[in-house]
Amino acid sequence: MDAIPVVRSAADREAIRQRFLLVDTSNVADVLDTLGLFHQGLSSVFTPYPPSSGKLAGWAYTIRGQMSPYQLGGDPDKMEACAGVSAGSVTVWSGDGEGVCYFGELIAIGMKERGCVGSIVDGGIRDIRWIAEQKFPVFARYRTPVQSIARWKVNGWQIPISVRGATSQWVKVCPGDFMLGDEDGVLVIPNEVVDTVLVEAERLTDQERSIREELQQGLSLAEALAKYGHV
């Protein structure tokens, strides 16, 4: 039985998002392990475009599609799906598309106008240079100039989806889960443990900050390990 999502106010969601921007995925991954959530990392094929796009942190808004030949002229379901994006969200795109982009510059602009703070794409993107000018972080599986129109079509949104995983073939992403990405990769934090994970990740972050300061002041690594244990 799926857990019931925790309902939070818009202010609480944004406050949590800002706090997550100050912690590293490595610390969050360690916390998830202690909770028995061992398969929350996305595959290493997910790459930031551009590499300087910065940190990604926000609430999952899921979009799913599939290869489905149709006439040129646009995908109204994709437009309807994107219209539902709200502030602080990260769109997470899934599907069986190969060789085609799921979205480009114009959709990124439209989502940003609605307060979306980034995207994770288990597929392709294009217009990378122009998306970079929007300062809109995107982690995607590949890049391609080939459009999805007439090839790949959205067939669902705000539903549980599966994206490629790091330690498992697939990772489940539900609407309202928290997505965190940085130089080390991307994690899915289930909605019901977001608060627990954040508090412990902040504690680990403070501990690491203290360790770095003490190392700079002359503490040896052996002394740090004896004092703080595994870090």
Q: Which residues carry a binding-site annotation? A: 104-107, 126-127
Q: Provide the annotated binding site for Mg(2+).
A: 127
Estimate the crossing angle of helix 10-20 against helix 194-216, to 10 degrees: 30
**Could you give the count of Cα atoms lying within 13 Å of 62 in the half-sphere of its Cβ?**
21
Sequence-ordered alpha helix ranges (H) in 96-170: 105-113, 128-133
Residue set of the binding site for substrate: 104-107, 126
Cross-strand partners of 142: 124
Question: Terminal CA-to-CA distance of the chain, rounded, Å?
Answer: 34
Q: Which of 9, 135, 183, 181 is nearest to 173 (CA)?
A: 181
- Report cis status (omega within 30 of 0) of the bond before 190: no
| φ and ψ at residue 134, rounded to 5 degrees | -80, -10
